[in-house]
Amino acid sequence: MKLHIEEIKKLIPHREPFLFVDTCEIITPGEHGKSEKFFSNDEYFFKGHFPNNPIVPGVIIVEAMAQTAGIVVSYQLRDYDEKSVLFMSVNKAKFRKPILPNENVSFEVKFINSVRDVYKFEGTCYKEDIKVSEAEFSAMITYK
């Protein structure tokens, strides 16, 4: 199932300028998904990161992976209206190649494990078919 921006906004609370997923394909609800993001040259962070040499900050790349995982998990739990996905940790983050303005990238996330309401995922970022970054991260699901 491929989700577009309005469907994504129903699953996670992120909004512009801090929503870093344009589309998300749910491969296995709660476990595996792929998303895409086009980083246009007018993204707010390029002005300061870095002047005359703009690149997407690593924290934005990891955030996009985490948002993808949040969408994948929230899609599985979409019957629960009052929930939040809260980022907890990042490990093993690696950045191999920069992402520049006007580039399209894809993110793939895969479930590693969960303990109670804490989910751990591995994420990978690709530019075309080239791996540009990766990380492991965890998030907690809270219910109101």
- Spatial contact of 134 and 93, defined as CB atoms under 8 Å apart: yes
- Spatial contact of 94 and 86, defined as CB atoms under 8 Å apart: no
The backbone region for 87, taken as left when phi is positive above 0, alpha when psi lies in -120 to 50, beta otherwise, is: beta
Report how far residue 64's alpha carbon sits from residue 90's, in angstroms, rounded to the nearest whole number: 13
The H or E element containing residue 49 is none
Q: DSSP class of residue 31?
A: T
| Residues with catalytic function | 49
Tokens of 98: 């920069």
